[in-house]
Amino acid sequence: MENNDFASMLEESFGKKIKKGDKVTGEIVSIVDDKTIAVSLGTFTEGIMHLDHFTKDKNVTSFNGLVNVGDTIEATVTSVNEDHIYLSHLNQLADEEFKAFEGLKGTDEVIKVTVVSEAANNAGFVCKYNGVQAFLPKSLAGSAKVGEAIDVKIIEVEESRKKLVVSRKAVEQDEYQANRQAEYEKINVGDVLKGTIIKVEKYGALVKFNFVTGLLKVSEVSHDFIDITKELNVGDEIEVKVLTKENNKLELSRKALVKSSFELFAEAHTVGETIKGTVANKLPAGLLIEVAPKVKGLLHRSEYSHNPNDNYASYVKIGDEVEVAILTLDKEKERIGLSRKALMDNPWKDVNAKVGDKVEVTVNEIVPRGLRVSALGVDGFVPMSEASTERIDDLTKYFNVGDKETAEIIEINPKEWKLRLSIKRVKRAEFEKEYAKHMTSEEATTTIGDVVADELKK
């Protein structure tokens, strides 16, 4: 029979012309052998399908148990000759697989593919999944390498072109987020962690641990003012303390793990200890003394001296070294109170005198207003009006430094270190006493007060 006659018979019996590439539906009428089945197409001849055109699974070796007589099957005509119509189910199988892929597109479903080779023009990788080819773009390849079996997500399915695009990067991102969340949940405020600096800016630095990244603000790097861009470098390993943990964010501190200059000073010194420092600044309240690098204490003006009138600040200048005692050490507020007075003896502590007492004084200095003297171990002052019973304008004509005189206390205030004396009152008393010796009651025509008054008028 000629081919034209055979084709005509097919066309008459099938109702249409069958040709290569046609999609047909038939019924399995027999399992010819392990690797062949016969399919009725409603024509005078049956279609033949071999096992390798039914499945791509190499582990399947027989139709027996795989299909049954009477099953309906869809197929594609692969060739037509005088004796047989040859069929293949592989295209339909691919269609079914792609329909399944369409349902996975945009979901979190993960499939495992094998990276077969690099794609042309270094565009990415060619992958296989159950015999179906998939494309893994380079931008979505992540850490994929040829020969590896990797998990991917389906991001694009185009059934008409049998185009399947997958992403390894999406899976790696999910894995990273899962690992990050697990690590974040294990971290607690107060934990001390080691991480690596991955970015440094003027405002602070980013520190990465295994998966979690935290912020180290510039104010938490050091107790002192620093240039963070010079202090820290990308790639440096750093130990930090977790300060806060909120909204999947961490705030860190290196400063919390480093003792401040004040803390180091407080560990090395105690209240009552004598130390040396440098005058750093003059304030209305007193002097600011630098007692250690970046550590300052206050020498309050009340602690200059036992003498409340001592203006010690006027005798020193910025940069002068002074010796002081630690009066207070407040570790919580980081304040140091200093005292110069504590290093000095208080000459007034043993003074026990009152107004009217007679004491010996030594002239230390002659000034226009009077005499600066020492008495009872403290400093005192004799006003010009109290220096003599006579009217004098120039004390240097009557007194010399080093002279010793007896004077009467006319004012005393130990708290204010004030001692005012009068030589005149002592001289006047002596004069009255002397006159009293040489006068008898019958000879007295005037009072002693009158005599003294007359003398004072001379």
Q: What is the pLDDT along the chain (458 residues), one digit of tens a residue?
A: 455 555 555 455 544 577 888 889 999 999 999 999 999 987 767 899 999 988 877 888 999 988 999 999 989 999 988 778 899 988 877 777 666 676 666 677 888 999 999 998 889 999 988 767 889 999 999 999 999 999 998 888 776 666 788 899 989 998 899 999 999 999 999 999 999 999 999 999 999 999 999 999 999 998 888 889 998 999 999 999 999 999 999 999 999 898 888 989 999 999 989 999 999 999 999 999 999 998 999 999 988 888 877 788 888 999 999 999 999 999 889 999 999 988 888 888 888 999 999 999 999 999 999 999 999 988 999 999 999 988 888 999 999 999 999 999 999 998 888 999 999 999 998 888 877 776 654 455 555 555 555 554 54
- State residue 234's pLDDT score: 95
Straight-line distance from the first to the last Cα atom of the chain, in angstroms, rounded to the nearest whole number: 178
- CA–CA gap between residue 390 and residue 423 (Å, rounded): 11
Q: Are 174 and 108 in contact (CB under 8 A)?
A: yes
Cβ atoms of residues 50 and 85 within 8 Å = no
Question: What is the rounded CA–CA span in Å between residue 56 and residue 424?
Answer: 135
Alpha-carbon radius of gyration of the chain: 56
Domain annotation for the chain: domains and CATH numbers: 3-88 (2.40.50.140), 106-173 (2.40.50.140), 196-257 (2.40.50.140), 261-343 (2.40.50.140), 354-407+424-458 (2.40.50)
What is d(CA 366, CA 397) in angstroms, rounded to the nearest whole number? 11
- Specify the pLDDT at position 82: 75
pLDDT score at 1 = 45
* The amino acid at 65: G
Query: What predicted TM-score, i.e. pTM, was given to this entire model?
Result: 0.49
The pLDDT, as a whole number, for residue 15 is: 47
b/e map 66-103, b = 16+ CB within 10 Å: beeeeeebebbbbebeeeebbbbbbbbbbeebbeebee
What pLDDT sits at residue 185?
Answer: 93
**By C-alpha distance, which of 449, 414, 425, 420 is closest to 435?**
449
Q: Are 254 and 216 in contact (CB under 8 A)?
A: yes
Residue 393 is predicted with a pLDDT of: 86
Q: How many CB atoms lie within 10 A of CB 327?
A: 19
Cα–Cα distances in angstroms (integers) from residue 342 to residues 155, 206, 324, 378, in the given order: 82, 50, 8, 18
Amino acid at position 387, single letter: A
